[in-house]
Homo-oligomer: A and B are copies of this chain.
Amino acid sequence: MIRARCEVLSNRRTGAYWSLTLVAPDIAEEARPGQFVEVAVPRGRDVILRRPFSIHQASRRGGWAGTLELVFEPVGPGTRWLAEVRPHDVLDVIGPLGRSFHYPREATSCLLVAGGYGAAPLHFLGEELRARNKVVHMVVGARTHERVLKPVEAKRLATSIVITTEDGTMGERGVVTDVLPAVLDRTRAQVVYACGPNPMLRAVAEYCRRRAVPCQVAVEEKMACGLGVCWSCVVPVVAADGRGWWNVRACVEGPVFNGARVWWDRWLGPARPPAEEEPLGAVEARRR
């Protein structure tokens, strides 16, 4: 975990998103797919908290060596401010934060399922998997074609790719879960990696669970610190032995979780009556 003052190399649109490249050699060196950084908003504003962003690219070699690329969508004061930063501006960045995706040991066929800007960390993951001689298949979903992140790069990256858009402006009309069964059949993927809106992650994780395919999800939860000290970012996770559950920090123990261990109903609702609330037997604080 490093705190660095990072110069902005570039900040430009890519479809509906912005691509922000920072000079951050130390963070880039450590960064692994699924991890994120916390970017500080400058003093003097009415929003004070850092903003978390997945690491989209961390270049160690080549022309971009020592740089970090983030992809974000302007949705509120923080991201709207970030869209305004210019080359040579300097940002206060902390990272890499959280746990990264686990690379499969045996498995060779991997399926990456992305929703919206959730594709950001999966491109990074895809490259690392290929560098490990894994076969990378992708399903990329978005509302509209501008929200399909860097489709050209994605196609270059993946051995096979299916794109879905809700308005049908790119690829197939629909959502990722419409095509997931067929893609799993075709690719015989032995592991699934997903990042996108939480409801999508839930659907993917629950389907994979039924198919008994291991599934890792990179989640989002509101974060005040990103450092593990505020306990605002928790996700209810079931104990390894299936007995009991605990609210686990997405910023430290996550954002990557085993999709089968996340207690989706409790996290995203509908909340159940207390009686059924602990289907997993005796309460037992789970720790890592």
**Residues of chain A whose beta carbon lies under 8 Å from any beta carbon of chain B:** 43-47, 77, 81
Contacts and interface: CB of A to CB of B under 8 A. Distances in A.
Contact of A46 (B44, B77, B81): B44
> Chain A: interface secondary structure?
loop
A256 to B, nearest CB: 33
Contacts of A77: 44
Nearest to A43: B46
A217 B215 CA distance: 76
A47 B44 CA distance: 8
A103 to B, nearest CB: 42
9 contacts: A43-B46, A44-B45, A44-B46, A44-B47, A44-B77, A44-B81, A45-B45, A45-B46, A46-B46
Count of identical protomers in the assembly: 2
A77 B46 CA distance: 13
A192 to B, nearest CB: 41
A188 B197 CA distance: 80
Contacts of A45: 44-46
**Nearest 9 CB-CB pairings of A with B:** A46-B46, A44-B46, A44-B45, A44-B77, A45-B45, A45-B46, A44-B47, A44-B81, A43-B46
Nearest to A80: B44
A153 to B, nearest CB: 34
A75 to B, nearest CB: 15
A43, A44, A77 — most chain B CB neighbours (10 Å): A44
A88 to B, nearest CB: 16
Given A44-B81, A45-B45, A46-B46, 5 more contacts: A43-B46, A44-B46, A44-B47, A44-B77, A45-B46
A138 to B, nearest CB: 38
Contacts of A44: 45-47, 77, 81
A47 B43 CA distance: 11
A43 to B, nearest CB: 8
A81 B45 CA distance: 12
A40 B43 CA distance: 19
A30 to B, nearest CB: 33
Nearest to A81: B44
